[in-house]
Amino acid sequence: MQWRWMTATVAASALAFLTFPAFPEFSSATPWSSAEATESAACDADARAANLDFTLKDMNGEDVALASLKGKVILLNFWATWCGPCKVEIPSFVELQDEYRDEGLAVLGLSVDDTVEKLKPFAEEYSVNYPLLVGLGRDDVQEAFGPVWGIPVTFYIDREGTLCKKHMGLATKEQVERDVRSML
């Protein structure tokens, strides 16, 4: 019994250590977090066309066609209302949407497993100013952008529809803003 708790503690500590951006040199999940890599190219070397052939419902029941956003820089964040790191990131996304909307930024939040009944009060509490998409039952979207092994995961799609970057785990506002600005 004690061995099981020790193993669980070590695993949880390792996950927490690799999730936080304070130690980017130890995290293989965020190789583009260095300033030189971000400033030298807007897209990662393994960039590919994003599959934008999806129409999803937002929390208000409106259709959001991802293809209709081509021509904008899309920040697509996979998240959930119960996710602690997601709650930390969302205020930054709200600020960035306000600041860069007129320059062509479109922030989208795809809730991986929440119902509309959970999304609406969450959006009100966090003053979300961008579409919250219902991803419950839409594993096809996760597979198209994935693999999505955990949340939060943020995808950066340029104006031409290229999936330029993928950031797994918690990102600071500065990291997100640097990547967005390189694409605007």
CA-closest candidate to residue 110, choices 157, 72, 142? 142
Which residue is it, tokens 């419950």?
A: 136
Contact 67, 51 (CB under 8 A): no
Query: What element of type H or E holds 132?
Result: strand 132-134
CATH number at residue 53: 3.40.30.10
Residues 34, 38, 40, 45: what is their CA dihedral angle, to the nearest 10 degrees?
Answer: 100
Residue 68 lies in a domain: yes
The mean of the pLDDT values for the chain is 83
- The pLDDT of 21-40, averaged and rounded, is 41
Residue 48 lies in a domain: yes
- Structural domain harbouring 66: 30-183
Residue 13 lies in a domain: no
| 35-88: pLDDT as tens digits | 444 344 688 888 899 999 999 999 999 999 999 999 999 999 999 999 999 999
Residue 86 lies in a domain: yes
In this prediction, residue 32 carries a pLDDT of 40
Q: List Cβ neighbours of 179 (8 Å cut-off, separation of 6 or more).
A: 32, 38, 156, 165, 167
Q: How many CA atoms lie within 13 A of 109 on its CB side?
A: 30
Residue 127 lies in a domain: yes
| Rounded-to-integer distance, Cα 175 and Cα 167, Å | 10
Query: What element of type H or E holds 7?
Result: helix 2-19
Residue 130 confidence (pLDDT) above 50 = yes
Residue 112 lies in a domain: yes
Residue 121 confidence (pLDDT) above 90 = yes
| Rounded-to-integer distance, Cα 17 and Cα 133, Å | 29
| Rounded-to-integer distance, Cα 46 and Cα 63, Å | 31
| Residue of higher predicted confidence among 41 and 142 | 142
The band of 4, judged by pLDDT with boundaries at 50, 70 and 90, is low
Q: Which residues have a catalytic role annotated?
A: 83, 86
Distances (CA, A) of 146 to 55, 56, 100, 113, 153: 17, 17, 26, 16, 9
In this prediction, residue 41 carries a pLDDT of 60
Contact 50, 165 (CB under 8 A): no
Residue 123 lies in a domain: yes
**pLDDT more than 90, % of the chain:** 67
Taking the chain, what is the end-to-end CA distance rounded to the nearest angstrom?
53
In this prediction, residue 84 carries a pLDDT of 96
Number of domains the chain is built from: 1
Contact 107, 130 (CB under 8 A): yes
Residue 61 lies in a domain: yes
**pLDDT more than 70, % of the chain:** 78
